[in-house]
């Protein structure tokens, strides 16, 4: 397809572009090429997700309908999405208002971090602590009572609600400093059957649970270094600063988490923190220095250190 041919209504479309009819496949090919030239890496996938959204159908359905013409009203909806994706670099998740995480559908908006696949490493690590060695091992925590789990900085509620879906016998609390994020988390809780088992609280770090202790504290805190802000993908401008940046070196919130977590962990309880791979060594040292034992790291699918964990002694 020539560069000169544009879907009707797109910038620079000619009268003949507007008049001609476009099939699903033609639109996908055109948009993929357009996104690639705009520097969008997942060009074809993004085109498919946006077209499926505009057509109010499933992405895989497009493959069956490749030769189907797209109606002008559908094309208008699609064009508006394509423009925001390419020109304003709005992430697909925000354009769709939804993102899948741990096989659950989460509502997202510019008020929350879109849950990332890397964070499933943290969920897996947390489950291994509750389901694996630890649960039922009296040397770790008293297993006769319900485990108490805290998700600190819950954002969309992705971690807390995923854990709740896997752990029907566990008490889960989720906190965030952002009221707007908690509003989205509450909406996600309303949409999911396990949502009513999660308690959402507002406040800074451990402040909303000041006098409480947990068997497991998980957190995906803001950990991007402010000094790296200029080199970040433009899509991140559509996510809350409070969810991304952890001060000049990215470690401000993690530093506080490590220092304060001991006062909120049961003897034998675990602290699990998601971080950037190059922060793992530093945070392991901090954990050991703060008195944690069994300090370990977990790797994401790309084999990068993604989670650091430590156990509070004393059981």
Ligand X SMILES: C[S@@+](CC[C@H](N)C(=O)[O-])C[C@H]1O[C@@H](n2cnc3c(N)ncnc32)[C@H](O)[C@@H]1O
Contact segment (CB under 6 A) with ligand X among 2-10, 26-34, 131-139, 149-157 equals: 149-157
Contact segment (CB under 6 A) with ligand X among 153-161, 162-170, 289-297, 299-307 equals: 153-161
For residue 162, state whether it binds ligand X (rule: CB under 6 A).
no
Chosen residue from 32, 154, 173, 266 binding ligand X by CB under 6 A = 154
Q: Which is nearer to ligand X, 55 or 258 (CB)?
A: 258
Chosen residue from 10, 109, 188, 220 binding ligand X by CB under 6 A = 220
For residue 188, state whether it binds ligand X (rule: CB under 6 A).
no
> How far apart, in whole angstroms, are the C-alpha atoms of residue 168 and residue 159?
14
Chosen residue from 7, 91, 134, 155 binding ligand X by CB under 6 A = 155
For residue 205, state whether it binds ligand X (rule: CB under 6 A).
yes
Q: Which two tokens stand for residue 50?
A: 């946006």
For residue 192, state whether it binds ligand X (rule: CB under 6 A).
no
Chosen residue from 181, 254, 271, 280 binding ligand X by CB under 6 A = 181
Site string for ligand X, 61-100 (x = CB under 6 A): ----------------------------------------
Residue-by-residue DSSP string for the chain: --TT---TTSTT--HHHHHS--BHHHHHHHHHHHHHHTT-TTHHHHHHHHHHHHHTS-TTHHHHTTTSBPPHHHHHHHHHHHHHHHHS---HHHHHTEEEETTEEEE--TTSPPPPTTHHHHHHHHHHHHHSTTTT-TTTS-TTS--EEEEES-TTTHHHHHHHHH-TT-EEEEEES-HHHHHHHHHHHHHSGGGGGEEEEESSTTGGGTT--EEEEEE----B-GGGGGGS-GGGGGS-HHHHB-STTS-HHHHHHHHHHGGGEEEEEEEEEE--GGGHHHHHHHHHHTT-EEEEEEE-TTS-EEEEEEE----
Q: Which of these, 199, 233, 228, 186, lies nearest to 91 by C-alpha position? A: 233
For residue 310, state whether it binds ligand X (rule: CB under 6 A).
no
Q: Which is nearer to ligand X, 152 or 287 (CB)?
A: 152
Site string for ligand X, 102-121 (x = CB under 6 A): -----------x-x---x--
- For 170-221, give the secondary structure using H, E and C: CEEEEEECCHHHHHHHHHHHHHCHHHHHEEEEECCCCHHHCCCCEEEEEECC
For residue 253, state whether it binds ligand X (rule: CB under 6 A).
yes
For residue 158, state whether it binds ligand X (rule: CB under 6 A).
yes
> Please, are residues 253 and 205 in contact by the beta-carbon 8 Å criterion?
yes
Q: Which is nearer to ligand X, 32 or 156 (CB)?
A: 156
Angle at 237 between CA 120 and CA 106, to 5 degrees: 35
Q: How far is the CB of 115 from ligand X (least distance, A)?
A: 4
Contact segment (CB under 6 A) with ligand X among 2-10, 30-38, 45-53, 171-179 equals: 171-179
Contact segment (CB under 6 A) with ligand X among 8-16, 52-60, 175-183, 226-234 equals: 175-183
For residue 43, state whether it binds ligand X (rule: CB under 6 A).
no
Q: How far is the CB of 92 from ligand X (least distance, A)?
A: 16
Site string for ligand X, 230-249 (x = CB under 6 A): ------------xx------
Site residue total, ligand X (CB under 6 A): 22
Contacting residues toward ligand X, per CB under 6 A: 113, 115, 119, 153-156, 158-159, 175-178, 181, 204-205, 220-222, 242-243, 253
């Amino acid at each position: 397809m020539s560069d000169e041919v544009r879907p009707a209504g797109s910038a620079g479309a000619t009268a003949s572009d507007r008049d001609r009819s476009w099939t699903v496949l033609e639109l996908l090919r055109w948009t993929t090429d357009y996104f690639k030239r705009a520097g969008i890496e997942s060009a074809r996938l993004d085109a498919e997700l946006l077209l499926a959204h505009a057509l109010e159908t499933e992405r895989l359905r497009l493959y069956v309908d490749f030769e189907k013409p797209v109606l002008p009203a559908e094309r208008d909806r699609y064009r508006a999405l394509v423009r925001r994706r390419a020109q304003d670099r709005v992430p697909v998740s925000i354009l769709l208002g939804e993102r899948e995480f741990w096989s659950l559908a989460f509502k997202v908006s510019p008020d929350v971090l879109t849950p990332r696949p890397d964070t499933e490493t943290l969920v897996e690590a947390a489950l291994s602590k509750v389901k694996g060695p630890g649960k039922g091992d009296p040397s770790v925590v008293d297993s006769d009572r319900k485990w108490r789990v805290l998700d600190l900085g819950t954002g969309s509620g992705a971690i807390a609600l995923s854990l709740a879906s896997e752990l029907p016998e566990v008490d889960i609390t989720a906190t965030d400093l952002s009221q707007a994020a908690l509003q989205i988390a509450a909406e996600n809780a309303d949409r999911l059957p396990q949502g009513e088992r999660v308690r959402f609280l507002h406040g800074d770090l451990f402040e909303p649970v000041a006098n409480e202790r947990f068997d497991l504290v998980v957190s995906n805190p803001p950990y991007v270094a402010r000094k790296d802000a200029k080199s970040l993908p433009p899509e991140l401008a559509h996510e809350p600063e409070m969810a991304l940046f952890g001060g000049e070196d990215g470690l401000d919130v993690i530093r506080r988490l490590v220092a304060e977590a001991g006062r909120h962990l049961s003897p034998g309880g675990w602290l699990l923190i998601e971080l950037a791979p190059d922060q793992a060594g530093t945070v392991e040292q901090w954990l050991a220095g703060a008195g944690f034992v069994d300090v370990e790291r977990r790797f994401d699918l790309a084999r990068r250190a993604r989670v650091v964990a430590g156990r509070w002694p004393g059981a």
